[in-house]
Amino acid sequence: MTQAATEALRILRDGSLFQWYLITLFALTVYVYAAEVERRNWSLVFAGLAFWGMDWFNEIWNGLVFHFTQYAPVWGAPGKTSFLILIGLNIEICFMFAIAGVAFSKMLPADKQLKILGLPNRLAFAIVNSIFCVLVEMVLHSVGALTWDYSWWGVRAPWLIFLIGYLPFFLVAFWVFDMDSFRKKITTVGVIYAFDIICLVLFLGILKWI
């Protein structure tokens, strides 16, 4: 087991690490969604929720990688935190992803047919935003906030972080954003969260694997 994984396990779901700034982060997250609900901007609300739900899926399988290897997760978050939810997901990252989908979706052009450098603008924005997020992760890794212990996932091999870590988040969020009915949006997001919840109940609550 790597040193980073050992440290993350030591603080995993340790409630004594709580800090009051979490209440501010929670209030900010609630405000972001409340502002869009007030405007009845359901496309942004569900795009944000889809983005967040996709991250939960990634964090679950990342925890399972550690369980089955007993070496390291694909990414870990052993640094300072107020609460480490899963081995690669702290509460600060969780709130960030809850807001990020709304923020990134706000940047989408109103015209779905607009092309950027010959690409559909949704795909272009997904690619650019994913690259941006990979660069942010590299900075976080450089200061020890995120750890990478596998040669195929890291600074020398960033394409998997791009293809698996972020691109699906944006593609799904933008797909939900563009859906033409409220029912389709809520059904799609509901399926994402139902799957996440089933996995959490099974792998965290019952089997204690993550």
SS3 call for 86: strand
Side-chain-side CA neighbours of 44 within 13 Å: the count stands at 21
168: exposed, middle or buried (Cβ count in 10 Å: 0-12, 13-18, 19+)? middle
Amino acid, res. 156:
R
Return d(Cα 66, Cα 201) in angstroms, integer: 18
Q: What does the pLDDT read at residue 63?
A: 98
Q: Which amino acid is at 105?
A: S
Q: How far apart are CA 199 and CA 185, in angstroms?
A: 22
Angle, helices 42-69/167-178, rounded to nearest 10 degrees: 150
Along the 210 residues of the chain, how does pLDDT read in single tens digits? 999 999 999 999 999 999 999 999 999 999 999 999 999 999 999 999 999 999 999 999 999 999 999 999 999 999 999 999 999 999 999 999 999 999 999 999 999 999 999 999 999 999 999 999 999 999 999 999 999 999 999 998 999 999 999 999 999 999 999 999 999 999 999 999 999 999 999 999 999 999
Residue type, 175: W
Q: Give the span between the Cα atoms of 74 and 68, in whole angstroms.
A: 12
Give me the phi and psi of 157, to 5 degrees please. -140, 65
Structure tokens at 193: 């969260």
Helix (H, G, I), strand (E, B) or coil at 209: coil
How far is the C-alpha of 188 from the C-alpha of 182, rounded, in Å? Answer: 10
**DSSP one-letter code for 107:** T
Task: Give the span between the Cα atoms of 200 and 203, in whole angstroms.
Answer: 5
Whether the full predicted model's pTM is greater than 0.85, yes or no, is yes
- Predicted confidence at residue 119, as pLDDT, reads 96
